[in-house]
Amino acid sequence: MKNKILQYLQCEKNIFNLNKELKCQRIQKNELSKEIIHFCKTNNKSKINLPDGTTLNMNTSNSYQSLSYSYIEEKLLIYNKRHSKTLPVKDIIAFLKEERENKSNVELIHT
pLDDT tens profile 26-44: 999 999 999 999 999 999 9
Q: Is the pTM of this model over 0.85?
A: no
Question: Are 55 and 47 a contacting pair, CB within 8 Å?
Answer: yes
pLDDT tens profile 45-84: 999 999 999 999 998 899 998 999 999 999 999 999 999 9
Residues ≥6 apart with Cβ < 8 Å to 40? 46, 48, 58
Residue 46, SS3? coil
Reported residue count of the chain is 111
CA torsion through residues 37, 40, 45, 50, sign:
negative
Strand partners, 47: 57
pLDDT tens profile 40-55: 999 999 999 999 999 9
